[in-house]
Chain A
Amino acid sequence: MEAALQTSVPQSFAEARNTGAVMTAALAVLALAFGCASLFIGPAPYSAHDILFGLFTQHGAASIIAQQIRLPRAALALVVGAALGASGAALQGLFRNPLAEPGITGVTSSAGLGAVIALYFGLAAIHPALLPTFAIAGALASAAILYGLSRSGAGVMALVLAGVAIASLATAITALVLSFAPNPYAMTEMVLWMMGSLKDRTLNDLVFAAPLVAIGIAILATSARGLDALTLGEDVAHSLGINVSSIRMRVVFGVALATGAATAAAGAVSFVGLVVPHLLRPFYGYEPARLILPSALGGAVLVSAADIAIRLIAPDGQLLLGVLTAMIGAPFFIWLILRLRREP
């Protein structure tokens, strides 16, 4: 029996599984490698030895640089990338559309709006936690609107369009807030939030973002089975015993939590959630469920690599992280649209 089944399982089916496992391992190694490499890059003139030593001791300027500046930045790049990658994979699975990403639901823009409001009203100065709190509140508000729509029976198309409208509205209000910015520094800070940057992050940012992102990704992982069933459409998923509205709710809130926390820490880093799942999909048999965690790893690799690249290209910090990801991601987005248009 065992042998008969072994031979009846097509070779390429087993191969597809192995390719995925190899890819996941490679992504994990790369994420670790980029995360470590990121520690040794920065404007402060310390050798690798100084930084390594500084990480594990409590005295000297090198230890402050290593523990308070380099470590949060390196770790946040991984955390933010993981949040965006997993969110993109889950949204593409839910919307059954490779063009979906956290931006399309309006979650990123709404989180950015929350952050900008916190800055504009000086709330961030009252308590540092208010800034990320507002960003996550913004993300949850947009997610709640989407969830409300999905409860009232709106289809996937309506959700996508609502997301586009929410994103436009959030961007418009952000611009409104910007034009009333009380001082030029506020303007500069807000641009950082809108474009996305990991410059000058603190351990506090990491401590706040990491658990929320982890919870968000965990929620997304619980929706994996349902996303596989959704490959056959919502009616079939329902007929297979999947609670489709619960899956929608989990994806929307998981994405809000992960992307909201990531945006709170790094600003609106765009296109990571679009590019990563799309590139990884063939390695995982195009299965939405298997794609979520590898996309988290892939996002971590991409954001980490991009954050290293901008520091190598422009050591004085003129280049923002979100600028680089958009410059890679936007042409990719257009190429993807053209390719999808060619397919019947």
Chain B
Amino acid sequence: MIAFENIAARYGQRTVLNGVSAQFRKGAVTGIVGPNGAGKTTLFRTALGLLPATTGTVRVNGKPLHDWPRDTLARTIAYLPQGSDAHWPLLARRLVSLGRMPHLTALRPLTLADEAAINDALARCDALSLASRRMDELSAGERARVLLARALATNAPVLLADEPAAHLDPAHQLQLMDLLREEATRGTAVAVTLHDLSLAARYCDEIMVLDQGRVAAKGAPDIALSDDTLARVFNVAAVRADNEGRKTLVGWRRF
């Protein structure tokens, strides 16, 4: 769905991404991990056209990003940024309906199809009961579900979620990751940045490890999060576990 070909990007003079090649595949959850400042968010921003790549090409469905009309791209890629929140205490349902904006024109109101997509997104995120609540009345976990529903309401074939699990308690973290997995099962290309290596190892089909703007490792969780990579990039040794057929790991000790 999205292919990065030898991407470089910089903020001012500072190079944030350098020679990054990667793919976010349809129907898979791609995890992007790496220390702070590794360029995880920047990678998403280049895919959205928020930060133009200085070299290399980003392709969406094979077509270079800059050939995509603004509205078509908006229907193709949904974005859930880090620390996402509503600046005004809108009703949750109204907030989710903003996700339909790429499908609407200035004067066309929501159609039955839009209403159905909104209800569907709310239902998928277990947030139907929150629909008529104001955003400032919700708990952090409830808000995260509504904000994800907003991104899902677009029904875009690509979902980019930046640290969606941060600041959530364990139960809500698992719920959120389950939701992302479910989206991938429906055929969406899901890319998610994570600080939590346990969640990354357990939930992702593929993992890309970024370090100082470069790809340090990528592949299946076992391969990408090898002992060697963990030592080199994260400076930790890990304890590994295998439960119910899924492998995971916990950063255990600093070197």
Q: Which A residues lie at the B interface, using CB under 8 A?
A: 1-2, 5, 8-13, 16, 96, 222, 225, 228-233, 235-236, 238-243, 281, 285-288
Instruction: Judge whether B70 and A233 touch: CB under 8 Å.
Output: no
A229: B residues at CB distance < 8 A: 98, 101
B71: A residues at CB distance < 8 A: 241
A8, A233, A239: most-surrounded residue (chain B CB, <10 A): A239
A291 to B195, CA, bound (A): 39
- Which among A2, A8, A16, A232 is the interface contact of B86 at CB below 8 angstroms? A232
Closest-CB distance, B143 to chain A (whole angstroms): 12
Instruction: Judge whether A240 and B131 touch: CB under 8 Å.
Output: no
B131: A residues at CB distance < 8 A: 10, 13
Stretch at the interface among B32-40, B89-97, B173-181, B240-248: B89-97
Interface residues of chain A: helix, strand, loop or mixed (majority):
helix
Known contacts A12-B132, A286-B89, A287-B88; 20 further A-B pairs (Cβ under 8 A): A5-B116, A9-B115, A10-B131, A12-B91, A16-B91, A229-B101, A231-B87, A231-B88, A233-B87, A236-B84, A239-B79, A240-B98, A240-B99, A241-B73, A241-B75, A243-B70, A281-B88, A285-B90, A285-B94, A287-B94
A287: B residues at CB distance < 8 A: 88, 90, 94
Chain B 108-123 interface residues, beta-carbon cutoff 8 Å to A? 112, 115-116, 119
- Which among A10, A228, A288 is the interface contact of B132 at CB below 8 angstroms? A10
Closest-CB distance, B243 to chain A (whole angstroms): 36
A236: B residues at CB distance < 8 A: 79, 81, 84
Interface flag for B77 (CB, 8 Å): yes
A121 to B128, CA, bound (A): 65
**Interface residues in B, total, Cβ within 8 A:** 39
Interface flag for B220 (CB, 8 Å): no
A233: B residues at CB distance < 8 A: 81, 84-85, 87
Query: Given the known A-B contacts A96-B88, A238-B48, A240-B98, are A13 and B73 also in contact in the complex, defined by CB atoms under 8 Å?
Result: no
Closest-CB distance, B156 to chain A (whole angstroms): 9
Query: Given the known A-B contacts A10-B132, A233-B84, are A240 and B94 also in contact in the complex, defined by CB atoms under 8 Å?
Result: no
A241: B residues at CB distance < 8 A: 70-71, 73-75, 101-102
Closest-CB distance, B60 to chain A (whole angstroms): 13
Instruction: Judge whether A13 and B90 touch: CB under 8 Å.
Output: no
A222 to B105, CA, bound (A): 12
Interface flag for B171 (CB, 8 Å): no
B89: A residues at CB distance < 8 A: 286
Chain B 33-90 interface residues, beta-carbon cutoff 8 Å to A? 45, 48-50, 70-71, 73-75, 77-79, 81, 84-90
B70: A residues at CB distance < 8 A: 241, 243
Closest-CB distance, A195 to chain B (whole angstroms): 32
A240: B residues at CB distance < 8 A: 74, 98-99, 101-102, 154
Closest-CB distance, B84 to chain A (whole angstroms): 7
A12: B residues at CB distance < 8 A: 91, 132
A293 to B87, CA, bound (A): 20
B49, B87, B95, B116: most-surrounded residue (chain A CB, <10 A): B87
Closest-CB distance, B97 to chain A (whole angstroms): 9
Query: Given the known A-B contacts A10-B131, A288-B88, are A232 and B150 also in contact in the complex, defined by CB atoms under 8 Å?
Result: yes
- Which among B49, B78, B98, B115 is the interface contact of A231 at CB below 8 angstroms? B98
Closest-CB distance, B101 to chain A (whole angstroms): 5
Query: Given the known A-B contacts A5-B112, A11-B132, are A232 and B98 also in contact in the complex, defined by CB atoms under 8 Å?
Result: yes
Task: List 10 A-B residue pairs with CB atoms under 8 Å apart, sorted by A's residue number.
Answer: A1-B112, A16-B91, A231-B87, A236-B84, A239-B77, A243-B70, A285-B90, A286-B89, A286-B90, A287-B90
Residue of A nearest to B154 (CB): A240
Instruction: Judge whether A231 and B95 touch: CB under 8 Å.
Output: yes
Instruction: Judge whether B132 and A8 touch: CB under 8 Å.
Output: no
A231: B residues at CB distance < 8 A: 86-88, 90, 95, 98
Residue of B nearest to A97 (CB): B87
Residue of B nearest to A228 (CB): B98
Instruction: Judge whether A235 and B132 touch: CB under 8 Å.
Output: no
Instruction: Judge whether A5 and B102 touch: CB under 8 Å.
Output: no
A10 to B130, CA, bound (A): 10
Instruction: Judge whether A13 and B98 touch: CB under 8 Å.
Output: no
Closest-CB distance, B40 to chain A (whole angstroms): 14
A13: B residues at CB distance < 8 A: 91, 93-94, 131-132
A11 to B112, CA, bound (A): 17
